[in-house]
Structure 1
Protein backbone atom coordinates (compact mmCIF):
# COMPACT_ATOMS: atom_id res chain seq x y z
CA UNK A 1 0.00 0.00 0.00
CA UNK A 2 1.30 3.44 -0.96
CA UNK A 3 0.63 6.21 1.57
CA UNK A 4 1.23 9.92 0.96
CA UNK A 5 1.54 12.37 3.87
CA UNK A 6 1.41 16.08 3.12
CA UNK A 7 3.01 18.60 5.47
CA UNK A 8 5.41 15.84 6.45
CA UNK A 9 8.01 18.23 7.87
CA UNK A 10 5.48 19.84 10.21
CA UNK A 11 4.71 18.94 13.80
CA UNK A 12 1.76 16.67 12.96
CA UNK A 13 2.97 15.25 9.66
CA UNK A 14 6.31 14.14 11.11
CA UNK A 15 4.52 12.31 13.90
CA UNK A 16 2.25 10.57 11.40
CA UNK A 17 5.21 9.34 9.34
CA UNK A 18 6.93 8.12 12.51
CA UNK A 19 3.76 6.31 13.59
CA UNK A 20 3.38 4.65 10.19
CA UNK A 21 6.95 3.39 10.34
CA UNK A 22 6.41 2.11 13.89
CA UNK A 23 3.34 0.20 12.65
CA UNK A 24 5.52 -1.64 10.15
CA UNK A 25 4.69 0.29 7.01
CA UNK A 26 7.75 0.08 4.79
CA UNK A 27 9.63 3.33 4.29
CA UNK A 28 9.45 2.79 0.54
CA UNK A 29 5.66 2.71 0.77
CA UNK A 30 5.51 6.18 2.32
CA UNK A 31 5.77 9.43 0.36
CA UNK A 32 6.44 12.62 2.34
CA UNK A 33 5.27 15.81 0.64
CA UNK A 34 7.22 18.84 1.90
CA UNK A 35 8.20 22.36 0.89
CA UNK A 36 11.84 21.90 1.85
CA UNK A 37 13.43 18.50 1.38
CA UNK A 38 16.31 19.52 3.62
CA UNK A 39 13.99 19.39 6.62
CA UNK A 40 13.32 15.68 6.12
CA UNK A 41 16.78 14.45 5.19
CA UNK A 42 16.48 11.94 8.01
CA UNK A 43 13.33 10.47 6.45
CA UNK A 44 14.97 10.26 3.05
CA UNK A 45 17.88 8.43 4.65
CA UNK A 46 15.42 5.84 5.95
CA UNK A 47 14.06 5.28 2.44
CA UNK A 48 10.95 7.47 2.58
CA UNK A 49 10.09 8.93 -0.83
CA UNK A 50 10.41 12.71 -0.42
CA UNK A 51 8.40 14.84 -2.84
CA UNK A 52 8.72 18.61 -2.99
CA UNK A 53 5.48 20.53 -3.55
CA UNK A 54 3.59 23.47 -2.07
CA UNK A 55 -0.12 24.15 -1.77
CA UNK A 56 0.48 27.51 -3.48
CA UNK A 57 1.86 25.88 -6.64
CA UNK A 58 -0.67 23.63 -8.39
CA UNK A 59 1.98 22.63 -10.91
CA UNK A 60 4.19 21.19 -8.17
CA UNK A 61 1.27 19.18 -6.83
CA UNK A 62 0.75 17.28 -10.08
CA UNK A 63 3.25 14.59 -9.15
CA UNK A 64 2.79 14.77 -5.39
CA UNK A 65 0.12 12.08 -5.17
CA UNK A 66 1.28 9.75 -7.92
CA UNK A 67 0.58 6.16 -6.94
CA UNK A 68 -0.91 7.26 -3.64
CA UNK A 69 -3.56 4.78 -2.63
CA UNK A 70 -4.19 6.73 0.57
CA UNK A 71 -3.35 10.37 1.25
CA UNK A 72 -3.26 12.34 4.46
CA UNK A 73 -4.15 15.91 3.59
CA UNK A 74 -2.90 18.07 6.46
CA UNK A 75 -4.71 21.40 6.32
CA UNK A 76 -2.67 24.48 5.45
CA UNK A 77 -1.44 26.73 8.24
CA UNK A 78 -2.05 30.09 6.59
CA UNK A 79 -5.48 31.20 7.78
CA UNK A 80 -7.22 33.23 5.10
CA UNK A 81 -5.29 31.62 2.26
CA UNK A 82 -6.34 28.04 2.71
CA UNK A 83 -9.29 27.82 0.33
CA UNK A 84 -7.31 28.27 -2.92
CA UNK A 85 -4.49 26.15 -1.47
CA UNK A 86 -6.87 23.36 -0.50
CA UNK A 87 -8.63 23.54 -3.84
CA UNK A 88 -5.29 22.91 -5.56
CA UNK A 89 -4.62 19.88 -3.34
CA UNK A 90 -8.06 18.38 -3.96
CA UNK A 91 -7.77 18.90 -7.71
CA UNK A 92 -4.36 17.20 -7.74
CA UNK A 93 -5.63 14.30 -5.63
CA UNK A 94 -8.58 13.80 -7.93
CA UNK A 95 -6.36 13.92 -11.01
CA UNK A 96 -4.09 11.30 -9.44
CA UNK A 97 -7.05 9.06 -8.64
CA UNK A 98 -6.17 8.58 -4.98
CA UNK A 99 -8.03 5.80 -3.22
CA UNK A 100 -8.71 7.69 0.02
CA UNK A 101 -8.22 11.33 1.02
CA UNK A 102 -8.07 11.83 4.79
CA UNK A 103 -8.40 15.51 5.68
CA UNK A 104 -7.50 17.11 9.01
CA UNK A 105 -10.53 19.29 9.66
CA UNK A 106 -11.86 20.97 12.82
CA UNK A 107 -13.90 19.60 15.72
CA UNK A 108 -17.59 20.07 15.05
CA UNK A 109 -17.26 20.30 11.28
CA UNK A 110 -20.32 22.06 9.85
CA UNK A 111 -21.54 22.91 13.36
CA UNK A 112 -18.37 24.74 14.41
CA UNK A 113 -19.26 28.42 14.76
CA UNK A 114 -15.88 30.14 14.97
CA UNK A 115 -14.12 32.01 12.20
CA UNK A 116 -11.28 29.47 12.16
CA UNK A 117 -13.75 26.80 11.07
CA UNK A 118 -14.96 28.51 7.88
CA UNK A 119 -12.15 27.35 5.59
CA UNK A 120 -12.39 23.84 7.02
CA UNK A 121 -16.13 23.69 6.35
CA UNK A 122 -15.65 24.91 2.79
CA UNK A 123 -12.85 22.38 2.27
CA UNK A 124 -15.04 19.53 3.48
CA UNK A 125 -17.66 20.62 0.94
CA UNK A 126 -15.07 20.73 -1.85
CA UNK A 127 -13.96 17.21 -0.98
CA UNK A 128 -17.54 15.94 -0.95
CA UNK A 129 -18.22 17.61 -4.29
CA UNK A 130 -15.03 16.12 -5.78
CA UNK A 131 -16.36 12.59 -5.47
CA UNK A 132 -13.11 11.42 -3.86
CA UNK A 133 -13.32 8.68 -1.24
CA UNK A 134 -12.70 10.56 2.01
CA UNK A 135 -12.33 10.51 5.76
CA UNK A 136 -12.68 13.67 7.82
CA UNK A 137 -10.43 13.78 10.87
CA UNK A 138 -12.10 16.59 12.79
CA UNK A 139 -9.31 17.34 15.21
CA UNK A 140 -9.89 19.16 18.45
CA UNK A 141 -7.21 21.25 20.12
CA UNK A 142 -3.64 20.09 20.58
CA UNK A 143 -2.43 20.49 24.17
CA UNK A 144 0.84 21.72 22.66
CA UNK A 145 -1.00 24.87 21.51
CA UNK A 146 -0.72 25.89 25.15
CA UNK A 147 2.40 24.13 26.38
CA UNK A 148 4.49 25.61 23.56
CA UNK A 149 3.97 28.99 25.26
CA UNK A 150 4.94 27.74 28.69
CA UNK A 151 8.04 29.92 28.84
CA UNK A 152 5.93 33.05 28.55
CA UNK A 153 3.51 31.75 31.18
CA UNK A 154 6.37 31.18 33.62
CA UNK A 155 7.87 34.57 32.84
CA UNK A 156 4.64 36.38 33.69
CA UNK A 157 3.35 34.01 36.34
CA UNK A 158 -0.01 33.77 34.63
CA UNK A 159 -2.05 31.90 32.06
CA UNK A 160 -3.85 34.68 30.18
CA UNK A 161 -6.99 33.93 28.18
CA UNK A 162 -10.47 35.28 27.56
CA UNK A 163 -12.36 31.99 27.72
CA UNK A 164 -13.95 32.46 31.14
CA UNK A 165 -14.74 29.09 32.68
CA UNK A 166 -14.80 27.33 29.32
CA UNK A 167 -13.20 23.91 29.07
CA UNK A 168 -10.90 22.34 26.45
CA UNK A 169 -10.87 18.61 25.71
CA UNK A 170 -7.39 18.68 24.23
CA UNK A 171 -5.08 15.80 23.37
CA UNK A 172 -1.44 15.53 22.40
CA UNK A 173 -0.43 15.84 18.76
CA UNK A 174 0.86 12.27 18.96
CA UNK A 175 -2.69 11.12 19.72
CA UNK A 176 -4.09 12.79 16.61
CA UNK A 177 -1.16 11.47 14.57
CA UNK A 178 -1.93 7.96 15.75
CA UNK A 179 -5.54 8.40 14.65
CA UNK A 180 -4.41 9.45 11.19
CA UNK A 181 -2.10 6.44 10.97
CA UNK A 182 -4.96 4.11 11.95
CA UNK A 183 -7.15 5.50 9.17
CA UNK A 184 -4.34 5.34 6.62
CA UNK A 185 -3.53 1.71 7.38
CA UNK A 186 -6.92 0.31 8.35
CA UNK A 187 -10.23 -0.51 6.73
CA UNK A 188 -13.77 0.75 7.14
CA UNK A 189 -12.97 4.45 7.44
CA UNK A 190 -14.17 5.65 4.04
CA UNK A 191 -17.04 8.13 4.22
CA UNK A 192 -16.58 8.65 7.96
CA UNK A 193 -16.23 11.91 9.88
CA UNK A 194 -14.50 11.42 13.22
CA UNK A 195 -15.00 13.99 16.00
CA UNK A 196 -11.63 13.74 17.73
CA UNK A 197 -10.87 15.17 21.15
CA UNK A 198 -9.24 14.29 24.44
CA UNK A 199 -10.89 12.08 27.03
CA UNK A 200 -11.03 14.84 29.65
CA UNK A 201 -11.89 18.52 29.34
CA UNK A 202 -10.01 21.00 31.52
CA UNK A 203 -10.42 24.65 32.42
CA UNK A 204 -7.72 27.29 32.21
CA UNK A 205 -7.76 27.56 35.99
CA UNK A 206 -7.00 23.84 36.16
CA UNK A 207 -4.29 24.25 33.54
CA UNK A 208 -2.66 27.04 35.56
CA UNK A 209 -2.86 24.89 38.70
CA UNK A 210 -1.16 22.02 36.87
CA UNK A 211 1.63 24.29 35.65
CA UNK A 212 2.05 25.44 39.26
CA UNK A 213 2.27 21.86 40.49
CA UNK A 214 4.77 20.85 37.80
CA UNK A 215 7.06 23.85 38.29
CA UNK A 216 6.65 24.66 41.97
CA UNK A 217 5.83 28.24 40.99
CA UNK A 218 2.67 30.18 41.68
CA UNK A 219 0.84 30.45 38.37
CA UNK A 220 -2.62 32.02 38.23
CA UNK A 221 -5.29 32.09 35.58
CA UNK A 222 -5.94 35.64 34.47
CA UNK A 223 -9.22 35.85 32.61
CA UNK A 224 -9.51 39.06 30.61
CA UNK A 225 -12.03 40.56 28.21
CA UNK A 226 -11.83 39.80 24.50
CA UNK A 227 -10.65 43.35 23.88
CA UNK A 228 -7.92 43.07 26.48
CA UNK A 229 -6.79 39.70 25.17
CA UNK A 230 -6.56 41.10 21.65
CA UNK A 231 -4.29 43.87 22.97
CA UNK A 232 -2.14 41.29 24.77
CA UNK A 233 -1.69 39.18 21.65
CA UNK A 234 -0.95 42.10 19.34
CA UNK A 235 1.43 43.50 21.97
CA UNK A 236 3.23 40.15 21.94
CA UNK A 237 3.90 40.56 18.23
CA UNK A 238 1.09 38.54 16.63
CA UNK A 239 -0.42 39.92 13.42
CA UNK A 240 -3.76 41.55 14.12
CA UNK A 241 -5.64 39.10 11.90
CA UNK A 242 -4.25 36.05 13.67
CA UNK A 243 -4.81 37.65 17.08
CA UNK A 244 -8.48 38.21 16.21
CA UNK A 245 -8.81 34.55 15.20
CA UNK A 246 -7.37 33.42 18.55
CA UNK A 247 -9.66 35.74 20.49
CA UNK A 248 -12.59 34.29 18.56
CA UNK A 249 -11.43 30.79 19.47
CA UNK A 250 -11.55 31.75 23.15
CA UNK A 251 -15.12 32.96 22.66
CA UNK A 252 -15.89 29.54 21.21
CA UNK A 253 -14.24 27.83 24.16
CA UNK A 254 -16.40 29.94 26.45
CA UNK A 255 -19.46 28.61 24.60
CA UNK A 256 -18.27 25.02 25.02
CA UNK A 257 -17.16 24.46 21.43
CA UNK A 258 -13.99 22.54 22.35
CA UNK A 259 -15.26 20.79 25.47
CA UNK A 260 -16.80 17.73 23.85
CA UNK A 261 -15.47 14.34 24.97
CA UNK A 262 -16.98 11.94 22.46
CA UNK A 263 -14.35 9.27 23.12
CA UNK A 264 -13.88 8.75 19.36
CA UNK A 265 -10.17 9.54 19.49
CA UNK A 266 -9.35 7.04 22.22
CA UNK A 267 -11.53 4.39 20.56
CA UNK A 268 -9.82 4.96 17.22
CA UNK A 269 -6.28 4.68 18.62
CA UNK A 270 -7.13 1.91 21.08
CA UNK A 271 -5.83 3.66 24.20
CA UNK A 272 -6.63 6.66 26.40
CA UNK A 273 -5.58 10.05 25.10
CA UNK A 274 -2.60 11.78 26.70
CA UNK A 275 -3.74 13.62 29.85
CA UNK A 276 -3.08 17.36 29.99
CA UNK A 277 -0.90 17.03 33.13
CA UNK A 278 1.36 14.58 31.30
CA UNK A 279 1.86 17.05 28.45
CA UNK A 280 2.55 19.86 30.91
CA UNK A 281 5.15 17.74 32.72
CA UNK A 282 6.85 16.92 29.41
CA UNK A 283 6.95 20.59 28.43
CA UNK A 284 8.44 21.54 31.80
CA UNK A 285 11.14 18.88 31.44
CA UNK A 286 11.99 20.24 27.98
CA UNK A 287 12.26 23.78 29.32
CA UNK A 288 14.54 22.62 32.11
CA UNK A 289 16.76 20.94 29.54
Structure 2
Protein backbone atom coordinates (compact mmCIF):
# COMPACT_ATOMS: atom_id res chain seq x y z
CA UNK A 1 0.00 0.00 0.00
CA UNK A 2 1.33 3.41 -1.02
CA UNK A 3 0.47 6.25 1.30
CA UNK A 4 -0.05 9.68 -0.25
CA UNK A 5 0.38 12.39 2.34
CA UNK A 6 -0.94 15.92 1.94
CA UNK A 7 -0.27 19.03 3.96
CA UNK A 8 -2.99 21.68 4.07
CA UNK A 9 -5.59 18.96 3.58
CA UNK A 10 -8.33 20.92 5.33
CA UNK A 11 -7.85 24.05 3.24
CA UNK A 12 -9.79 24.94 0.11
CA UNK A 13 -7.26 23.52 -2.34
CA UNK A 14 -6.50 20.55 -0.11
CA UNK A 15 -10.12 19.49 0.29
CA UNK A 16 -10.62 19.57 -3.48
CA UNK A 17 -7.43 17.57 -3.97
CA UNK A 18 -8.70 14.85 -1.64
CA UNK A 19 -11.81 14.54 -3.80
CA UNK A 20 -9.70 14.52 -6.98
CA UNK A 21 -7.49 11.74 -5.63
CA UNK A 22 -10.48 9.59 -4.77
CA UNK A 23 -12.00 10.30 -8.19
CA UNK A 24 -8.81 8.82 -9.65
CA UNK A 25 -9.31 5.64 -7.67
CA UNK A 26 -7.11 6.29 -4.64
CA UNK A 27 -8.66 4.64 -1.60
CA UNK A 28 -9.37 7.00 1.31
CA UNK A 29 -7.30 4.84 3.63
CA UNK A 30 -4.27 5.38 1.41
CA UNK A 31 -4.41 9.16 1.91
CA UNK A 32 -3.03 10.87 5.01
CA UNK A 33 -4.52 14.32 5.40
CA UNK A 34 -2.49 16.74 7.50
CA UNK A 35 -3.59 20.02 8.99
CA UNK A 36 -3.35 22.27 12.01
CA UNK A 37 -6.83 21.77 13.43
CA UNK A 38 -7.96 18.43 14.77
CA UNK A 39 -11.61 19.43 14.49
CA UNK A 40 -11.35 20.11 10.77
CA UNK A 41 -9.44 16.88 10.21
CA UNK A 42 -12.34 14.91 11.66
CA UNK A 43 -14.34 15.44 8.46
CA UNK A 44 -11.56 13.67 6.54
CA UNK A 45 -11.36 10.88 9.10
CA UNK A 46 -15.12 10.40 8.76
CA UNK A 47 -14.70 9.43 5.09
CA UNK A 48 -11.88 7.02 5.88
CA UNK A 49 -8.69 9.09 5.51
CA UNK A 50 -5.71 8.75 7.79
CA UNK A 51 -5.21 12.10 9.53
CA UNK A 52 -2.43 13.84 11.40
CA UNK A 53 -2.21 17.18 13.20
CA UNK A 54 0.88 19.08 12.05
CA UNK A 55 2.47 22.40 12.86
CA UNK A 56 5.05 23.62 10.36
CA UNK A 57 6.96 25.13 13.29
CA UNK A 58 6.99 21.88 15.29
CA UNK A 59 9.32 19.29 13.79
CA UNK A 60 8.06 16.55 16.09
CA UNK A 61 4.56 16.75 14.60
CA UNK A 62 6.01 16.66 11.09
CA UNK A 63 8.22 13.65 11.86
CA UNK A 64 5.25 11.68 13.16
CA UNK A 65 2.89 12.70 10.35
CA UNK A 66 5.29 11.83 7.53
CA UNK A 67 6.30 8.42 8.84
CA UNK A 68 5.34 5.87 6.16
CA UNK A 69 4.44 8.46 3.51
CA UNK A 70 5.89 7.71 0.06
CA UNK A 71 4.45 10.62 -1.96
CA UNK A 72 3.85 14.00 -0.31
CA UNK A 73 1.57 16.62 -1.84
CA UNK A 74 3.08 19.67 -0.21
CA UNK A 75 0.59 22.54 -0.33
CA UNK A 76 2.50 25.68 0.56
CA UNK A 77 1.81 27.41 3.86
CA UNK A 78 -0.17 30.62 4.25
CA UNK A 79 1.94 32.57 6.75
CA UNK A 80 3.92 34.94 4.57
CA UNK A 81 7.27 35.89 6.02
CA UNK A 82 7.56 32.55 7.82
CA UNK A 83 7.19 30.12 4.94
CA UNK A 84 10.84 29.73 3.99
CA UNK A 85 11.71 28.23 7.38
CA UNK A 86 8.40 26.38 7.74
CA UNK A 87 8.79 24.77 4.34
CA UNK A 88 12.37 23.81 5.13
CA UNK A 89 11.07 22.09 8.27
CA UNK A 90 8.67 20.03 6.16
CA UNK A 91 11.39 19.01 3.72
CA UNK A 92 13.77 18.10 6.57
CA UNK A 93 11.10 15.86 8.09
CA UNK A 94 10.31 14.30 4.70
CA UNK A 95 13.97 13.41 4.23
CA UNK A 96 14.12 11.77 7.65
CA UNK A 97 10.92 9.85 6.93
CA UNK A 98 12.19 8.49 3.61
CA UNK A 99 9.57 10.21 1.45
CA UNK A 100 10.29 9.36 -2.20
CA UNK A 101 8.55 12.24 -3.98
CA UNK A 102 7.35 15.72 -3.04
CA UNK A 103 4.83 17.55 -5.21
CA UNK A 104 5.06 21.18 -4.21
CA UNK A 105 2.61 24.00 -5.01
CA UNK A 106 4.80 26.94 -5.98
CA UNK A 107 4.15 30.27 -7.71
CA UNK A 108 4.22 30.90 -11.43
CA UNK A 109 7.78 31.59 -12.65
CA UNK A 110 8.92 31.61 -9.02
CA UNK A 111 12.59 31.89 -9.94
CA UNK A 112 12.27 35.31 -11.60
CA UNK A 113 8.78 36.61 -10.87
CA UNK A 114 7.98 40.18 -9.74
CA UNK A 115 5.20 38.80 -7.51
CA UNK A 116 5.66 39.56 -3.82
CA UNK A 117 4.92 35.91 -2.98
CA UNK A 118 7.68 34.56 -5.22
CA UNK A 119 10.83 34.82 -3.02
CA UNK A 120 9.65 32.29 -0.42
CA UNK A 121 8.60 29.89 -3.16
CA UNK A 122 11.95 30.33 -4.89
CA UNK A 123 13.74 29.54 -1.64
CA UNK A 124 11.63 26.42 -1.18
CA UNK A 125 12.35 25.26 -4.73
CA UNK A 126 16.06 25.73 -4.09
CA UNK A 127 15.82 23.70 -0.87
CA UNK A 128 14.01 20.95 -2.78
CA UNK A 129 16.68 21.00 -5.49
CA UNK A 130 19.29 20.31 -2.80
CA UNK A 131 17.28 17.39 -1.40
CA UNK A 132 17.72 13.73 -2.40
CA UNK A 133 13.92 13.51 -2.67
CA UNK A 134 12.51 13.73 -6.20
CA UNK A 135 10.66 17.04 -6.43
CA UNK A 136 7.83 17.80 -8.83
CA UNK A 137 7.00 21.51 -8.86
CA UNK A 138 3.50 22.72 -9.70
CA UNK A 139 3.89 26.45 -10.32
CA UNK A 140 0.29 27.57 -10.01
CA UNK A 141 -0.94 30.81 -11.52
CA UNK A 142 -3.73 32.68 -9.71
CA UNK A 143 -7.04 31.13 -8.67
CA UNK A 144 -10.28 32.41 -10.20
CA UNK A 145 -11.75 32.35 -6.70
CA UNK A 146 -9.31 35.07 -5.62
CA UNK A 147 -11.55 37.54 -7.47
CA UNK A 148 -14.86 36.83 -5.78
CA UNK A 149 -14.41 39.69 -3.30
CA UNK A 150 -13.23 41.98 -6.10
CA UNK A 151 -16.36 41.09 -8.06
CA UNK A 152 -18.59 42.15 -5.18
CA UNK A 153 -16.65 45.38 -4.69
CA UNK A 154 -16.77 46.30 -8.37
CA UNK A 155 -20.50 45.61 -8.53
CA UNK A 156 -21.09 47.74 -5.43
CA UNK A 157 -19.11 50.72 -6.74
CA UNK A 158 -20.12 50.29 -10.38
CA UNK A 159 -16.55 50.77 -11.50
CA UNK A 160 -13.20 49.04 -11.68
CA UNK A 161 -9.88 50.85 -11.70
CA UNK A 162 -6.40 49.50 -12.21
CA UNK A 163 -2.90 50.43 -13.38
CA UNK A 164 -1.95 47.01 -14.76
CA UNK A 165 -2.31 48.11 -18.39
CA UNK A 166 -2.27 45.23 -20.85
CA UNK A 167 -0.84 42.78 -18.31
CA UNK A 168 -2.79 39.53 -18.21
CA UNK A 169 -3.72 36.96 -15.56
CA UNK A 170 -3.93 33.33 -16.68
CA UNK A 171 -6.10 32.14 -13.81
CA UNK A 172 -7.95 28.86 -13.43
CA UNK A 173 -10.18 27.36 -10.76
CA UNK A 174 -8.97 25.68 -7.59
CA UNK A 175 -10.68 22.52 -8.81
CA UNK A 176 -8.49 22.55 -11.94
CA UNK A 177 -5.30 22.85 -9.88
CA UNK A 178 -6.53 20.17 -7.46
CA UNK A 179 -7.10 17.79 -10.35
CA UNK A 180 -3.56 18.50 -11.55
CA UNK A 181 -2.10 17.63 -8.15
CA UNK A 182 -4.02 14.36 -8.15
CA UNK A 183 -2.71 13.49 -11.62
CA UNK A 184 0.87 14.27 -10.59
CA UNK A 185 0.52 12.14 -7.45
CA UNK A 186 -0.83 9.11 -9.29
CA UNK A 187 1.25 9.08 -12.50
CA UNK A 188 4.96 9.11 -13.31
CA UNK A 189 4.98 11.03 -16.61
CA UNK A 190 5.96 14.39 -15.10
CA UNK A 191 7.87 13.13 -12.09
CA UNK A 192 10.71 15.48 -11.22
CA UNK A 193 9.57 18.23 -13.60
CA UNK A 194 8.78 21.88 -12.98
CA UNK A 195 5.40 22.70 -14.54
CA UNK A 196 4.02 26.18 -15.22
CA UNK A 197 0.28 25.76 -14.68
CA UNK A 198 -2.39 28.28 -15.58
CA UNK A 199 -5.57 28.91 -17.48
CA UNK A 200 -6.07 28.66 -21.21
CA UNK A 201 -7.75 32.06 -21.11
CA UNK A 202 -5.82 35.06 -19.79
CA UNK A 203 -7.53 38.36 -19.08
CA UNK A 204 -6.69 42.03 -18.54
CA UNK A 205 -8.15 44.45 -16.01
CA UNK A 206 -10.43 45.84 -18.71
CA UNK A 207 -11.66 42.34 -19.52
CA UNK A 208 -12.26 41.72 -15.82
CA UNK A 209 -14.53 44.77 -15.72
CA UNK A 210 -16.36 43.51 -18.81
CA UNK A 211 -16.77 40.06 -17.25
CA UNK A 212 -18.21 41.56 -14.06
CA UNK A 213 -20.66 43.55 -16.19
CA UNK A 214 -21.70 40.42 -18.10
CA UNK A 215 -22.17 38.30 -14.99
CA UNK A 216 -23.91 40.95 -12.88
CA UNK A 217 -25.99 42.49 -15.65
CA UNK A 218 -24.89 45.92 -14.46
CA UNK A 219 -22.99 48.66 -16.24
CA UNK A 220 -19.40 48.76 -15.00
CA UNK A 221 -17.11 51.67 -15.77
CA UNK A 222 -13.43 50.91 -16.27
CA UNK A 223 -10.92 53.56 -15.21
CA UNK A 224 -7.31 52.99 -16.27
CA UNK A 225 -4.81 55.04 -14.25
CA UNK A 226 -1.18 55.15 -13.21
CA UNK A 227 -0.10 53.93 -9.78
CA UNK A 228 -0.48 57.35 -8.15
CA UNK A 229 -3.97 57.71 -9.53
CA UNK A 230 -4.86 54.21 -8.36
CA UNK A 231 -3.56 55.01 -4.88
CA UNK A 232 -5.60 58.21 -4.75
CA UNK A 233 -8.80 56.33 -5.61
CA UNK A 234 -8.13 53.71 -2.94
CA UNK A 235 -7.37 56.39 -0.36
CA UNK A 236 -10.64 58.11 -1.21
CA UNK A 237 -12.43 54.84 -0.43
CA UNK A 238 -10.70 54.60 2.94
CA UNK A 239 -8.70 51.48 2.13
CA UNK A 240 -6.13 50.69 4.83
CA UNK A 241 -2.40 50.84 4.05
CA UNK A 242 -1.85 47.08 4.18
CA UNK A 243 -4.65 46.30 1.74
CA UNK A 244 -3.64 49.22 -0.44
CA UNK A 245 -0.07 47.99 -0.65
CA UNK A 246 -1.29 44.53 -1.65
CA UNK A 247 -3.60 45.85 -4.39
CA UNK A 248 -1.05 48.27 -5.81
CA UNK A 249 1.70 45.67 -5.70
CA UNK A 250 -0.49 43.15 -7.48
CA UNK A 251 -1.29 45.56 -10.31
CA UNK A 252 2.37 46.47 -10.71
CA UNK A 253 3.35 42.80 -10.87
CA UNK A 254 0.62 42.07 -13.41
CA UNK A 255 1.78 45.00 -15.54
CA UNK A 256 5.29 43.49 -15.44
CA UNK A 257 4.02 40.12 -16.66
CA UNK A 258 3.99 38.34 -13.30
CA UNK A 259 0.84 36.34 -14.08
CA UNK A 260 0.94 36.30 -17.87
CA UNK A 261 -0.45 33.50 -19.97
CA UNK A 262 -2.31 31.75 -21.36
CA UNK A 263 -1.02 28.19 -21.00
CA UNK A 264 -2.08 24.77 -22.29
CA UNK A 265 -0.04 22.75 -19.78
CA UNK A 266 -2.73 22.59 -17.09
CA UNK A 267 -5.51 21.64 -19.51
CA UNK A 268 -3.34 18.93 -21.06
CA UNK A 269 -2.52 17.56 -17.61
CA UNK A 270 -6.13 17.32 -16.45
CA UNK A 271 -7.55 16.29 -19.82
CA UNK A 272 -10.11 19.06 -20.30
CA UNK A 273 -10.38 22.82 -20.74
CA UNK A 274 -9.54 24.95 -17.74
CA UNK A 275 -12.32 26.85 -16.01
CA UNK A 276 -12.65 30.47 -17.10
CA UNK A 277 -13.02 33.35 -14.68
CA UNK A 278 -16.53 33.96 -15.97
CA UNK A 279 -17.53 30.34 -15.34
CA UNK A 280 -16.28 30.49 -11.77
CA UNK A 281 -17.99 33.81 -11.06
CA UNK A 282 -21.28 32.56 -12.46
CA UNK A 283 -21.07 29.31 -10.48
CA UNK A 284 -20.14 31.03 -7.22
CA UNK A 285 -22.68 33.83 -7.55
CA UNK A 286 -25.43 31.34 -8.43
CA UNK A 287 -24.36 29.19 -5.48
TM-score tier by shorter-chain length is: over 0.9
Counterpart Cα distance in 1 of 2:38 and 2:231? 36
Counterpart Cα distance in 2 of 1:142 and 1:275? 10
Equivalent residues of 1:101, 1:132 under 8 A apart? yes
Counterpart Cα distance in 2 of 1:56 and 1:230? 37
For 1:53, the equivalent position in structure 2 comes to 54
Offset, 1:283: 2.4
Counterpart Cα distance in 1 of 2:216 and 2:25? 38
Assess, with a 3 A threshold, how the Cα gap between structure 1 residues 152 and 113 changes in structure 2: closer, same or farther. closer
Assess, with a 3 A threshold, how the Cα gap between structure 1 residues 117 and 152 changes in structure 2: closer, same or farther. same
Assess, with a 3 A threshold, how the Cα gap between structure 1 residues 219 and 40 changes in structure 2: closer, same or farther. farther
SS of residue matched to 2:130: helix
Deviations 1:35-93 (A, max 9, x none): 11212322211111111011122221111211111111111111111111111111111
How do residues 76-95 of structure 1 correspond to structure 2 at under 5 angstroms?
Answer: 76-95=77-96
For 2:122, the equivalent position in structure 1 comes to 121
For 1:150, the equivalent position in structure 2 comes to 151
For 1:139, the equivalent position in structure 2 comes to 140
Offset, 1:245: 4.4
SS of residue matched to 2:65: coil
Counterpart Cα distance in 2 of 1:137 and 1:95? 23
1:165 partnered with 2:161: no
SS of residue matched to 1:273: coil
Equivalent residues of 1:55, 1:86 under 8 A apart? yes
Specify every segment of 5 or more residues in structure 1 that has no aligned partner in the other structure, as ranges: none
After the TM superposition, which parts of structure 1 deviate over 4 Å for at least 4 consecutive aligned residues? 227-231
Q: Could you state the TM-score of these two structures normalised by the residue count of structure 2?
A: 0.92
Equivalent residues of 1:205, 1:220 under 8 A apart? no
Counterpart Cα distance in 2 of 1:246 and 1:94? 38
For 1:283, the equivalent position in structure 2 comes to 284
For 2:111, the equivalent position in structure 1 comes to 110
CA RMSD of aligned residues (A): 1.9
Count of residues paired in the alignment: 284
SS of residue matched to 2:138: strand
Deviations 1:186-242 (A, max 9, x none): 1132220000010011112111111111111112333344345557389445x62x6
Moved more, 252-261 or 199-208: 252-261
Equivalent residues of 1:150, 1:283 under 8 A apart? no
SS of residue matched to 1:180: helix
Equivalent residues of 1:66, 1:96 under 8 A apart? yes
SS of residue matched to 1:149: helix
SS of residue matched to 1:159: strand
Counterpart Cα distance in 2 of 1:258 and 1:204? 12
Counterpart Cα distance in 2 of 1:118 and 1:206? 29
Counterpart Cα distance in 2 of 1:187 and 1:67? 20
SS of residue matched to 1:125: helix
SS of residue matched to 2:66: coil
Counterpart Cα distance in 1 of 2:238 and 2:86? 30
For 2:185, the equivalent position in structure 1 comes to 184
Specify every segment of 5 or more residues in structure 2 that has no aligned partner in the other structure, as ranges: none
1:269 partnered with 2:267: no
For 1:37, the equivalent position in structure 2 comes to 38
Offset, 1:131: 1.9
Q: Could you state the TM-score of these two structures normalised by the residue count of structure 1?
A: 0.92
Offset, 1:160: 3.7
Equivalent residues of 1:198, 1:266 under 8 A apart? yes
Counterpart Cα distance in 2 of 1:183 and 1:53? 23
